[in-house]
Amino acid sequence: MMSAQRGSTKLDVGVLSAEQREKLRQFKIATRIDNEEYLKSHPEVQLLIGDFLRCFLKGLMTSVSLLQITSPTQTFVQPMTLKEK
């Protein structure tokens, strides 16, 4: 069973009827499957995410440079502020 809490927001699943909860559960499953199929058919997305995470985890991007991102594509089309090594 999935946790009823995500982040700092508690979900009130008691508001939904049993039928609505089941429909929501099925929708979440279908959405996850669709997302996984999309990622499998678009390996470039995984490469972009991997490159972004690699730079971030290696400490090449500062938290300030991450705050300056105004659109998702900006990370890949404009040079980021890199830390001096």
Helix (H, G, I), strand (E, B) or coil at 73: coil
* Total domain count, the chain: 1
More confident residue, 80 or 22: 22
The answer on pLDDT for 69 being more than 80 is no
b/e map 38-69, b = 16+ CB within 10 Å: eeeeeeeeeeeeeebeeebeeeebeeebeeee
For residue 74, which amino acid is it? Q
* pLDDT, tens digit (0-9, with 9 covering 90-100), for 11-55: 776 788 999 999 999 999 999 999 999 999 998 988 888 888 887
* pLDDT, tens digit (0-9, with 9 covering 90-100), for 49-58: 888 888 777 7
**Is the residue at 8 inside a domain?**
no
Domain residues for the domain of 70 are: 17-77
pLDDT number for residue 75: 56
Q: What is the CA 79 to chain-centroid distance, rounded?
A: 22
**Is the residue at 84 inside a domain?**
no
CA triplet 67, 54, 42: central angle to 5 degrees?
Answer: 95
**Is the residue at 58 inside a domain?**
yes
